[in-house]
Amino acid sequence: MTDEPLATRTFTADDQLAFARLSLDWNPMHLDTDFARRTQMGAPVVHGIHTLLWAVDAVLRSSAFDIENIRVRFHQPLFPGEIAAVKVVSRTETVVAIEVVADSTAVAAIRLSSESGKLMGSSARGIALAPQPIAKAVDASFERLAEGQGTVEAGATDHEIEALFPALSDAIGASAVRGLLATSQIVGMACPGLHSLFAGLDITCDPAAEPARALAYAVSKSDARFRSLKIDVTGSGIAGRLEAFARQPPPTQPAMKEITARVRKGAFSGQRALIVGGSRGLGEVTAKILAAGGGHPVITYREGKREAEAIAADIMQAGGQCEIIRYDALEPVAGQLDGIGAVGCCYYFATARILQRRSGRYEPEKLRGFLNYYVDGFYNLCAALARNGAGQIGIFYPSTGLIDEKAPNVAEYVMAKAAGEMLAKYVGAFQPNLHVISRRLPRTATDQAATIGVASAQDALDVMLPIVYEVQQIARP
């Protein structure tokens, strides 16, 4: 087959919203930047079913094909703003194999067959086709999800379906396309719901299936070890099985009440500290530790204003003091820190998204992106603090234990962190009034460490508490 794509497309935020209205899959993973950045993906992702429908329609527009069975595996997330390309991998009289590619990586593998697949969906048969509106994505225990069943209905009309996916509608009918739309709602809103990951589906266009607009579903198999679910579906002219994972919710950091119990009263009284990237994770914990000990953290955020405000509210409700400002480590420092006053110490948690799509073993552009944060951004801030500060300023630069582990798929991140470590050793020579402490941190329970399955990670408070005491010794008032 030719390497030339049949179609290309860049999905936008408006496309996300439009598809949510059609499918009624309003999962914030697709629509809310603040929510999505606290997940393993780190940013909103395109609805998998939107990718599927667009790709299949593009193939059918180029050449008609009699579809009885559709299978798809969603290998990686597709992000709005990326260029997605549809490529036909192979084609016979009975099977068309398709890939959706972004950044040289297959994000979805699709198989169309003119022969019926194994007719699944039996667990969902007999469920009353009376759809219940889902106002908010379900956030339930895995045990409850494993017993999930119900009925949903997509919001799209026949006219909308035929206008958006004309070739696919001609091939399998608007009712079956509506059923595929509804699978997005099942996974994203109902089961697993809020913390879902759509892995794939195997759907047969079943003439014997209930022709009603609604789609019934029932979990037929679950595995708590991997938090995986197999979900039978039937109705709206289709029958088959969905596969999904229930992701672990993003870690939450302890509230001020818990942290105050661990911090010596007055330990940081009179100390003013700049927490760069303090709206979540290690930065959040550090700010709360300082406030619990009587210090005054200045919390910066780049995107998470709501999160920074929530942290500030928790601190102040507990009787502490703090303030929040927006700061972008990739922009010139001048003007961004106006009005914060003199600080005795700084904690630098600014970071890029660590887990990124890979198209090769070593990618210079990714390294450059990480260096912008961990070397250039760090040095520029240090230089500004040295010019504006009085007396010794203690600075913490977090490195990573992954340097010692030689972890796969994060080579550029590790290289940039190692370069930042080396810079940290020399900052004092360049700026005598700065004293930088750098530590290789263990895997810690933060957003960036979130994974699909259960993974061991150290408590962020346990990790940061001794470090804060060490840094604060440098700049005692």
For residue 449, the model assigns a pLDDT of 61
219 and 337 fall within a common domain: no
199 and 262 fall within a common domain: no
Question: Residue 1: inside a domain, yes or no?
Answer: no
Residues pairing with 345 in the sheet: 273, 394
Residue 421 neighbours by CB under 8 Å, 6+ apart: 397, 399, 403, 438, 440
Q: Among 246, 266, 297, give the residue marking a domain's end.
A: 246
Low-confidence residues of the chain: pLDDT under 50:
451-454, 477
One DSSP character per residue, 242-261 reads: EEEEEPPPPP-PPPHHHHHT
- CA-CA-CA-CA torsion sign (427, 431, 432, 435): negative
124 and 269 fall within a common domain: no
304 and 265 fall within a common domain: yes
428 and 287 fall within a common domain: yes
The rounded distance, in Å, linking the Cα atoms of 436 and 392 is 10
The rounded distance, in Å, linking the Cα atoms of 195 and 189 is 9
Q: Name the nearest CA neighbour of 22 among 202, 215, 195, 157.
A: 157
Query: Angle CA(418)–CA(424)–CA(426) in degrees, nearest 5?
Result: 115
CATH code of the domain containing 207: 3.10.129.10
For residue 448, the model assigns a pLDDT of 63
Question: Residue 238: inside a domain, yes or no?
Answer: yes
Question: Residue 29: inside a domain, yes or no?
Answer: yes
Element (H, E) at 96: strand 95-102
For residue 428, the model assigns a pLDDT of 83
For residue 265, the model assigns a pLDDT of 93
293 and 233 fall within a common domain: no
333 and 228 fall within a common domain: no
298 and 163 fall within a common domain: no
Question: Considering the entire predicted model, what is its pTM?
Answer: 0.87
Largest CA distance in the chain: 80
Question: Residue 477: inside a domain, yes or no?
Answer: no
Question: Residue 222: inside a domain, yes or no?
Answer: yes
Residue 225 neighbours by CB under 8 Å, 6+ apart: 453
H helices within 41-141, ranges in order? 48-62
- CA-CA-CA-CA torsion sign (381, 386, 388, 389): positive
Number of domains into which the chain is organized: 2
Question: Residue 75: inside a domain, yes or no?
Answer: yes
97 and 213 fall within a common domain: yes
Rounded to a whole number of angstroms, the distance between the first and last alpha carbons of the chain is 71
Q: Name the nearest CA neighbour of 294 among 72, 425, 77, 472.
A: 472
- Say which DSSP state 212 is in: S
For residue 211, the model assigns a pLDDT of 59
CATH code of the domain containing 467: 3.40.50.720
Question: Residue 251: inside a domain, yes or no?
Answer: no
Question: Residue 287: inside a domain, yes or no?
Answer: yes
Residue 157 neighbours by CB under 8 Å, 6+ apart: none
Domain range spanning residue 267?
256-472
Q: Among 246, 270, 296, give the residue marking a domain's end.
A: 246
Q: Name the nearest CA neighbour of 100 among 59, 138, 51, 146.
A: 51
Residue 295 neighbours by CB under 8 Å, 6+ apart: 268, 269, 270, 271, 272, 273, 472
For residue 452, the model assigns a pLDDT of 37
Render the burial of 283-309: b for 16+ CB within 10 Å, e for the rest.
bbbbbbbbbbbbbbbbbbbbebeebbe
Instruction: Pull the structure tokens for residue 107.
Output: 């994000």
324 and 358 fall within a common domain: yes
Torsion angle defined by CA atoms of residues 15, 79, 252 and 299, in that order, rounded to the nearest 10 degrees: -90
For residue 454, the model assigns a pLDDT of 41
SS3 70: strand
Residue 331 neighbours by CB under 8 Å, 6+ apart: none
- What letter represents residue 128's amino acid? A
Query: Angle CA(431)–CA(437)–CA(442) in degrees, nearest 5?
Result: 150
For residue 353, the model assigns a pLDDT of 82
Sheet containing strand 323-326, strands side by side? 323-326, 296-301, 272-276, 345-348, 393-400, 434-441
The rounded distance, in Å, linking the Cα atoms of 379 and 369 is 15
157 and 261 fall within a common domain: no
For residue 177, the model assigns a pLDDT of 96
Q: Among 225, 246, 267, give the residue marking a domain's end.
A: 246
302 and 231 fall within a common domain: no
